[in-house]
Chains A and B, each alone.
Chain A
Amino acid sequence: GAGVSQTPSNKVTEKGKYVELRCDPISGHTALYWYRQSLGQGPEFLIYFQGTGAADDSGLPNDRFFAVRPEGSVSTLKIQRTERGDSAVYLCASSSRTSGRDTQYFGPGTRLTVL
């Protein structure tokens, strides 16, 4: 079946603009995660959804970042007033249950470049 998909694959924006990044998880997966991967670094946790609710948003760097998952499937990561430091690859992952021992399947990511 289809894996996790993310759109767009690349996004170039100007400092101060608003961006939305979309994630389509594997069908039936109730858990969804967002991570951010800066150049030369491992992915860093941003937020975790179980169903429609954000169970843990402790990794969001500040209040410019917000994510939603209104129907428990597709999720959108929203970044307001983008800064050059926001440039990174934003990865989405999904898994079938809440346990971390369940494999998290990652999408290919959205590469965000803030000029």
Chain B
Amino acid sequence: QQQVKQSPQSLIVQKGGISIINCAYENTAFDYFPWYQQFPGKGPALLIAIRPDVSEKKEGRFTISFNKSAKQFSLHIMDSQPGDSATYFCAAISGGSNYKLTFGKGTLLTVNP
């Protein structure tokens, strides 16, 4: 059973455009939601994270929107750049085992120049 569902599987955006990646979860015990960025041949790196008591968090060009009632959250990348081309993973952690990251399947983002 996939606990964190991520879409789309792949995304192509023009430079300067907005990239939007969506995730949904079922486990209401999840209480921390990080996003990871992974370049080919590298391990995932933390990009930005949010707790469910906040509806939005912004860091630079990256924004997480969180809808607790719908159990959905999304990553928005504003002014997308070719250097943003990577695979993005949403993830979740539950308070009961607050070390175990549960990842979505990932979204391969390509930003064309």
Binding site for B on A (CB under 8 A): 4, 31, 33, 35, 40-45, 48, 55-56, 59, 91, 93, 95, 98-101, 103-109
Establish whether residues B105 and A100, one from each chain, have CB atoms under 8 Å apart when the complex forms. Answer: no
Number of A-B contacts (CB under 8 A): 63
Interface size class of B (residues with CB under 8 A): 20 to 34
Q: A31-B99, A105-B45, A108-B42 are in contact. List 19 more A-B contacts (CB 8 A).
A: A4-B43, A35-B101, A40-B105, A42-B89, A42-B91, A42-B103, A43-B44, A43-B103, A48-B99, A93-B43, A95-B99, A99-B99, A100-B97, A100-B101, A101-B93, A101-B98, A106-B43, A108-B43, A109-B43
Q: How far is the CA of A105 from the CA of B45 in the complex (A)?
A: 7
Establish whether residues A56 and B91, one from each chain, have CB atoms under 8 Å apart when the complex forms. Answer: no
Establish whether residues B97 and A104, one from each chain, have CB atoms under 8 Å apart when the complex forms. Answer: no
Establish whether residues B43 and A45, one from each chain, have CB atoms under 8 Å apart when the complex forms. Answer: no
Interface residue B29 (Cβ < 8 Å from any Cβ of A): no
Knowing A42-B91, A42-B104, A42-B105, the reply to whether A108 touches B99 (Cβ < 8 A) is no
